[in-house]
Structures are given as structure tokens and as C-alpha cells.
Structure 1
Amino acid sequence: MSYANGARRRGVRALGAAGLLIGLLGAAPAVAGPPGGAEPRGGPLLAAWQPASGAGAHWEIQSPGPQARLQDEQNTIDVFQALAPATVFVNQLQRVRDFSMRPLEVPAGAGSGFIWDRRGHIVTNYHVIASGVRGTTYSVTLFNHKTYPARLVGGEPARDIAVLKIDAPASELTPIRVRSGRAPLAVGQKTVAIGNPFGLDHTLTTGVVSALGREIVGFGGITIRDMIQTDASINPGNSGGPLLDSSGYLIGMNTMIYSKTGSSAGIGFAVPVDTITRVVPQIIQYGKVKRAGLGISFVRDEIAASVGIRGVIIESVQRGSPAAGAGLRGLRWARDGSVELGDVILGIDAHAINNYDDLYNALERYQAGDTVTVKLQRDDSLVSVRVTLKTLD
């Protein structure tokens, strides 16, 4: 996985734009007529070919009018015309100094995004805007080619979602279409991707839903579940752009591809719209996602695995937290200086917990005030404890 900041993971690449790469194609040869005077066969497009006047050495194509377009072709056109104005180009700039020490802003990364509302909120991938460099600024270019400075509202790295805000007239903003209560997606459904691959703004590609329920490790190191797999051509620069259905409604946000070369191999992944609609309103309101939790710190999974322990080892329990109220135990120091194991979390309700990734995704299903059954390994016994979750900062 490769992100705009250069971090790498095997096989899967996120789509922050790296630059403009245009392959040079050789000139196409002239099209000759069928051998032996055979008539062309096929659908309406081939039937529209007519022999040129004269010796019949070549053929001419007659472009069909709008009334002759295939239904699916017209649908693609309609979706693009309606939703391209909702798609934006996101640019990341960093302040540097030239040899004379004058401050300059230079491009440091780019990607796609989409307009969330007429107040100017822009949704994109977190890895598109992540830099870790002080002085980083952002800009957003709309479909009308006007560019506005943007400020970062907040983000959720674990779900690779970020929100920017621009001060643009509402008349220039076309929000993405999001409709709740739609029928579940099905493999084989048409997908439409709009974005800025290699900086080529508002590029359209189409495909189908290739698979559902994929689990992909995201930018934040946490598995993003229920990812949509599509064969719509997605390339660097498509990150943060919308993945739409044939009705023009948002079904996901293009996030990463599986590729050995960095360009599209027909295997792309999108964060599902259900995750987006749950996370984005919280980022807009709080600048982050407020989630229900136990109030614990934990031992890293690698350490737990190295000593042969399955589950999440509680390292410490926060004072006044739900875990403290329920009597959960962290590590203890023995008099001889050794460390004594406390509780190991093995399950939350019906969800098995093998590592922190499992715990994170299990707790995300709940809200503050929900009471869950936490299954623990305590000494040599299996213990179940009821815990009422709270919102944790």
C-alpha cells in the first residue's frame, strides 16, 4: 500500500497523485474494409459503417446521434454530467524556502474529493492530506476550475477519511448524492468512478462491483471492513473520489488499488458509504470521531504474539473509566520486579477478539451507554464482565 506521504505496504496502493504520466501511443493504421468484400457484422456501431465512394479501398464511420446511443451508454453520460460538478481536485502544498530564503509553496501531494454540502465541506481520504509537516496548506479546485484555499476540519485515520472546508459561494457547490435506506449492493452492479488520476481532472471510468465485504488494512493500520472491490479503472490521483451507482448515488470513496506496477490492474477498493455517513458528520461537528470505549491501554499485538497470548492484553486501566468501574485489571509489578499478567480480552458479546484490530472494530458497533459483555482470561479462569461503555476523548 503506497500513500501520498510515501509509506508502503505490500501489494495495495493508495491513490494520491504522484505526477503526470502520459504514454505515447503509435499512430493507428488506417482501417481497411473486410477481406473479400464481406459485409461487417455486429451491433449498431458496425452496422453504421458504409463503404466510401470510389474504389471501395476504405470504409467511413457514421457517428450515431444521441437517439442511437445504447441505454447503458446514455446512463453513463447522465451520471457523469450530474455528478462531475460534485467531484473536486485536492492539492496539498508545503512551504519551503528557495536559495534566497524566500518562502514558496510547492505541491506536495494531490488527490480527489467530493462536495459534501453547500457549506463547503469536502470529503477526501486522510492519506491525501496527511503530511506531518508544519506549514502544510491545502487547496480545492472545483469543476468550474476555480481554486479555493481549504482548511482541515479533521479526520479519522483508522477509516482513511478526512474533511476539508472551503469558503465558496453555495451556488458553485454541487453536493454529492447520498441516499439512506437503499437496497444492499450486489456483485455485478455497475460502478462509476470520477476523479483526477495523474492530475487529469474529472476523468470517468466504469466497471462493476467485483466483490463485497473485503477487509483491507488502511492508512491508520486498522482493518477497514466491508470494503467494496471494483474493476473500474482507478489510478494514482483517484484517492478520495466518489464511486457511484447507476443512479448517481454515492456507494463508496475510492481509496486504494492492488497493483504491482502502481497503475490500475482492475482491482480497486472503496470505503463503503455506510462508513462515510457515520464518520463524516462527527468530523464536521467535533473535528474527530467520538467513539464508545472501555478506557484501557493495551500491550502491542506483536508482544502478545511473541509470548503466545491470543487476545488483547490490558496494560493499564484509566481512572474513572468503564473498565475501572467493572474491575478490569492491567499489568502488575511484582516485588521481585517481574510483571504479572492481568486481564486478557478474548471477546465482546459475540465478537471474538484476537488482537487490537478486532477490539477496535467490535467497539465501533456500539454507542456510549451500551452495555456489553467482556470475556476475559484472568489467571487460569475465563471470566465474563458487564461493562457500560462511555465516550472517550
Structure 2
Amino acid sequence: MHRLWLVFAQTVTVCLGILFIVATLRPDWLSNEPRMPQTGVGESAGRVVAGAAAGVSYADAVARAAPAVVNIYTTKVVDVPLIPLPADPELNRLFRGLPGFTQRRQSGSLGSGVIVRSDGYVLTNHHVVEAADSIRVALSDGREVDARLEGADPETDLAVLKIDLPGLQPIAFDQDEALRVGDVVLAIGNPFGVGQTTTLGIVSALGRNRLGINIYENFIQTDAAINPGNSGGALVDAQGRLVGVNTAIYSETGGSLGIGFAIPAKTAERILEEIIQSGKVTRGWLGIEPQDITPELMRAFGLERQEGVIVAAVLRRGPAHLAGLRVGDIILELEGAVIPDSVAFLNAVAPIKPGNALELTVLREGKRHQVQVEVGERPPVGRRR
């Protein structure tokens, strides 16, 4: 009996050893799934990869959007110092203007753009074409053409170009405006001048502002790789529709760190139409400097909620000054709607057409007042003094 037990134990041990070896070296022998015919390593691998990628490919979206994305090359003449100039800004400006201290040279830069209409209108960033002496656009099909600047809006960093070519394929705008955090997006542009490139990411956040990039900020944040040269390129959804215009990145190295920003397509489309119609963007303006209500100001003024904006400065002879607004007034409501902060205040005033009347609810010396203001036109950047 003892001998039989030893034989049984040895047999079980050998079987377990064989099972271990088979499970380690040839696990497919133990699988219940049918084996694929071995038609060659390359062919078999190709079938597996194609099958795995079939459900997650964004090739159709890229095929619809990529023909509308262009490369933009600009040149301008700049003054290059021949000797190190003083660090003091005033002395630097003085020496830069003297003959012999600087030499005029031609400088080039690159960016991206998006064809948005079949008659040749192209959206890009203002900083891509700012002060350019010449602008050249290269299409994805290899054609190149000179472009002219139709108009620009530095306060949103958008510009509109016009090219004259037949057979253009404009991109479709996302009319649903249903973009959500977590949605897949693709960034298409010309990073570092290597040529048209597509990167994949998701929407990381919506409504980003207070970044100090533009005056009017309402950015889409994405982790799709955006690098120098991508500015003005397209941010598209999984259907290839334009959801944003890539404009900036947060980076300590100059390359992508996964924090990129795009101007929403709705904003870009509105700016586009205004520039096409009138060559400029018109915004409502009251001539005041609004400041957010801090917890300290809330306690000092005896406010119940941290809402509204305090008037920190009033432009002399501006709309607010003519209406009687004073420094220290707190604007609580605009046309009956509560104002949460200064960003919301500027965004609420901007769409109002100049000449229209606007009713403000103002807190002054602890009492509420209704003030009627005739909205003015916001002056261009650098002309508000």
C-alpha cells in the first residue's frame, strides 16, 4: 500500500510539472478559443492589429478635417542689434533707433490656420500674422498661395485671412455646441514646421479664463499635444468638426506638457462673421475698470454675498462717467442679472451694440440705485487713455 501511494504521488508530481511547463511555454494549447490559421507572421499580425483598431480609429475624422488645415509662413523686417543694447528700456529704445547700432533683417515665423469658407477665408491666430510683411499659405494638397489679412481681433487673438484658390475644402463647424469634459479631440497643425501633424487627447476643462493670455478668455483646455507652430490650427471632435482654434500652451520648456488652450469655435465663428462684414470687431464698453469683490471688501461693504464688481476706475467722459458712476460704486446686477465677477461683467457688456441703453443696479453708500448707461464702442487696444 505504501508503495502504491509513492507511485501515485510521483505520477501527480510529474503531471503538475508538465502542466506548469505547457502553461508557461505554450499557453495557447490550454485555450478553448479556436486557433487562427498560420498564414505567415506579417499577415497574421496585420490582421490582429487591424481588428483591434477598427473600433477606435479616428481616420475618418482626420480625413474630413485635414484638407482644411493649412500651414502659414510669415516674414517681416526686424531691427537686429549689432552690439549688446542697455538693459534699461528707455536707453534700449534710444539706441535701437540710432543708425549703426542695429541692422534691418528679414525674420520668418510659422503657424497654422483653418479654411472655414469655400470662397477662401482662413481663420488663424492674431499673433501668427501680427506685423507680418508677407503671408504665405500652404495647403495639404501641396498648393501654395499668398494671403492677405482681412482683419484681426487682438483681444481674442484671432485673425482672418483671404486666399484666392479654386477647389477649397472648408471645415465644418460644430453646431451642436455639446462639447463636454472628457470628450475626445484631435489637434491638427504644423508643429515646429515638420508638416501637418495630428495629435489625440481629451477635453480637460471648459471655460478657462484669468490666464493673462487675452482680454476676453473662454478657453477649451486639452491634453492633445500642441507645440509651437500649432497656433491657429484646428481642434476637432471625433466627427472631424471644428470645436476650437488652438492658440496657446502652458510650458516651462517650450514643448507640450499636456496643457493646451483653444478658442471655442462659437467665438471664432462670431469673430469671423464680424470681420468679413465690417473688417473689425465691435464690442460694447462702459469705460470703467471693474475689480472683483474679495472677502475683505465684502466685509468692509457689509455685503451678504461675494458677488458683483467694484468700480476701481472711471474713464473721464466715458459712458459710465457720463451716466454718473463713481469710483467705489459696486455693480451688483446688469439688466437684472447678477454679476458674479469682473470676467462675467466684461463678457456681458461686450455683445451689447454701442448706442443701446443698459440698466445697472449699483450699491452706493449702502443704498441701491438704478443707473441707465448708454453703451459705447470699445476702443482698439492701446487707444483707451
After superposition, the C-alpha distances for 1:192-231 in whole angstroms (9 at most, x for unaligned) are 11111111221011122222222253533x2512x22222
Structure 2 residue 47 is matched with structure 1 residue 64: yes
Q: TM-score, normalised by structure 1?
A: 0.68
SS in 1 for 2:146: strand
Please name the residue that 1:147 is paired with.
144
Report how far residue 145 of structure 1 moved: 2.3
Paired residues for 1:1-393 under 5 Å: 36-38=25-27, 62-64=45-47, 68=51, 70-74=53-57, 76-95=58-77, 105-107=106-108, 109-131=109-131, 136-166=133-163, 168-171=164-167, 173-180=168-175, 182=176, 184-220=178-214, 222-225=215-218, 227-294=219-286, 296=287, 298=289, 311-318=310-317, 321=319, 324=322, 327-329=323-325, 341=327, 345=331, 347-348=333-334, 349-352=336-339, 355=342, 357-368=343-354, 371-378=357-364, 381-389=367-375, 391=377
Please name the residue that 1:6 is paired with.
none
SS in 2 for 1:201: coil
Structure 2: distance between partners of 1:392 and 1:267: 31
Report how far residue 378 of structure 1 moved: 4.3
Structure 1: distance between partners of 2:37 and 2:375: 69
Q: Do the aligned partners of residues 49 and 97 (structure 1) sit closer, same or farther apart at CA in structure 2, a change above 3 Å counting?
A: farther
Aligned residue identity for 2:72 = V
Report how far residue 175 of structure 1 moved: 0.8
Structure 2: distance between partners of 1:199 and 1:49: 45
Structure 2: distance between partners of 1:130 and 1:219: 15
After superposition, the C-alpha distances for 1:15-35 in whole angstroms (9 at most, x for unaligned) are xxxxxxxxxxxxxxxxxxx97
Aligned residue identity for 2:172 = R
After superposition, the C-alpha distances for 1:42-66 in whole angstroms (9 at most, x for unaligned) are xxxxx9896979xxxxx99632399
Aligned residue identity for 1:186 = R
Report how far residue 298 of structure 1 moved: 4.5
Identity of aligned residues (%): 34
How many pairs does the alignment contain? 320
Q: Do the aligned partners of residues 48 and 269 (structure 1) sit closer, same or farther apart at CA in structure 2, a change above 3 Å counting?
A: farther
Structure 2: distance between partners of 1:97 and 1:390: 38
Unaligned residue ranges in structure 1 (runs of 5+): 1-33, 41-46, 54-58, 331-340
Structure 2: distance between partners of 1:97 and 1:372: 47
Q: Do the aligned partners of residues 219 and 128 (structure 1) sit closer, same or farther apart at CA in structure 2, a change above 3 Å counting?
A: farther
Return the structure number with greater helix share: 2
Aligned residue identity for 1:237 = G
For the aligned residues, what is the CA RMSD? 3.9
